Structure 1
Amino acid sequence: MPRITARGLLFYGLFYVLFGVFYAGTIAYAIQDYKAGTLPDDLRRVLLIDYPLKAVWTLPVWWLLFRGPLRRVSWPWRLLHHLWLCPLWVAVWMGSYYAAAGWLGVGTIQGSGKAWDVYIPVLFYGFQFGLLHATGFIQQLQQRGHLEQLLREQAHHSEVAALKAQINPHFLFNTLNSISASVPPELERTRELIAKLAHTFRFALVASRHEMLPLGEELAFLRDYLALEQARFGARLQVEFVVGDALLGLLVPPMLVQPLVENAVRHGIAPSVAGGCLTVTAVPYGPGGVRITVADTGVGTTVAPAALLGSAAGLGLRNTHARLLALGSPGLEISANVPHGLRVSCVLPVRQPEARPAAPVPVPTPQAVPA
């Protein structure tokens, strides 16, 4: 849609002045055989009354088409609205123009010549709004091209960053297995932590290649992730999962709950001297969703929970919120926890797992019965 800029206002001001001067000169030339020296009077009438009124009545039509309810209408239907907007615009302009001219004592076209006061405004209306629509269309193309260029640059930067940071996953897993094998038997706890670390890396790799994964695998990944955090925080971090077994097989978008858990540990539990409890809850939500809630009893937040998505500390939450919106979810819901802490919940779209074909039942081979 056309934007209001100082350059645009100057352009349309010059457009009105030039069109008015041309119109006044045409009238003066057409009636010079009847009355000489009318150009100054025609210029004053056109530039001080006629075209200023056209500009005034253009503003509501422009707002309706480019800022009001009709801006969301598709281009063909928006153009069809001119079939009633143009006659209305001409009628309103004519009424105000003749009223202003009569009040100021300025002469107007009389008799059959009034047809020009319909013909010329219709042409002017079509010309100016054709120009406005063309300007809006060009601006949309420029914005779309600029957005596509930004997306290409971001994709290129992401690809370069991924190439720079790429580590052969097999090398990583083999190294972790070698480290685990070198741990003496008396350090079995260390061996378990290394195994959990390898599992979190392996799940992150698998999640990057799939759009949907079973909720049970997502929760197993979260359990390993939180087990590693518990090794760091000790008794300060208590973890609880409240999930029904019937939900574990549902397919959900992966890696959406982990940022919520990480945020709760980092900003809720870690700053608290006494630590706290982190609870992950999953319950069915409607026919095609599951509500995940991550609640902690940490320090909470100093800003209003609803405003947390706009704060500097909410970068991970904002990214998760944007990803949920892109999936058609309502996004994150943030509220204070009781007695203290924070509660973050979201609705994940789910899909039923594909039914695996049942194994064929072996049919016994008929055997000959002795006579």
Structure 2
Amino acid sequence: MLRHGLITAAFCCFIASALAISGNGSWESQMVYSLSIGMICWLFIDLGRLLLSGHKEVLWPHGFWGYGLIALGVIVGFLGGNAIGDAWVGAPPLEFRNLAARKMTSTIVITLVATIGMSFFFFSLGKSKHMQRQIELAQRNATEARLKLLETQLEPHMLFNTLANLRVLITVDPPRAVAMLDRLNSYLRMTLSGSRALAHPLSAEFDRLGDYLELMSVRMGERLRYTLDLPDDLRETPVPPLLLQPLVENSIRHGLEPKVEGGEITVRARRDAQGQLVIEVSDTGVGPDAAEQQQQQPSEGGGFGLEQVRERLATVYGEQGRLNLSAAPTGGTCVTLNLPLPA
């Protein structure tokens, strides 16, 4: 309302200046008349639209009520503004009735055109902002739906593999099957809690990753070793759920499993010199070149993780989220995520 009032006042000053320059009276009297008529019209219409529209998203009454409000605002503003102007210049009340027909007509036309024009301008401005909010809301909803879709695409892939391994272990090694089932239960519990939000603390992501790696350890035994390193000051940093598991799954599938002796996976989070969150997922597997050849071979889920993580980073963080794949200094592959830290 304040913005509307300031715009209306500026427009009234312009009209008063134009009338004074054209010889229709002194600048002072024209300013009083113009501001009085304009501000009364603005207050009446702006307050009226809020009262009539209630708590609707578009704060403007529809149909007859909107047109009636403008018409009534013109009448009230014209009469009230002229009464204030007449009192200012010392003329009798409603002196405008004694004006010549031509001058009376021009005064009414100016009031009508100015009020209708300003009302249409404010209505269009409000409608444009409402549409912009609707577009932003739709974009946020689309982003949320896209993230949830990506997450559901990743979940069944891991779950089916685990259930297949459980089926084998139940017959050949029941104690390991029970341990694997316990880990799966813990993992699914955390997954369900994370699926209700678009972000959760980095500590929850690491806990979830620990359960996943324990599931893989039951299957791979001593061929899989891992280290999770999360500083205390980064534990509450919000990140999208299921962000790191695809990278670790990729390291196991294409880095460690092709090696007879297996290897080690290290997941480490840190804050860099630019104040960004850096998460490194490194392994001592066959290296990026051999892993790329593995991913190009027809296999279930090959190359799925990296592409999905890149897409999630682009959806959530835009250009601020980056994924880099390189050879680890000690052999194997290193995937580095750069994410903005919340202010």
Q: TM-score range by the shorter chain?
A: 0.3 to 0.5
- TM-score norm. by structure 2 comes to 0.44
Structure with greater helix share of residues: 2
- TM-score norm. by structure 1 comes to 0.41
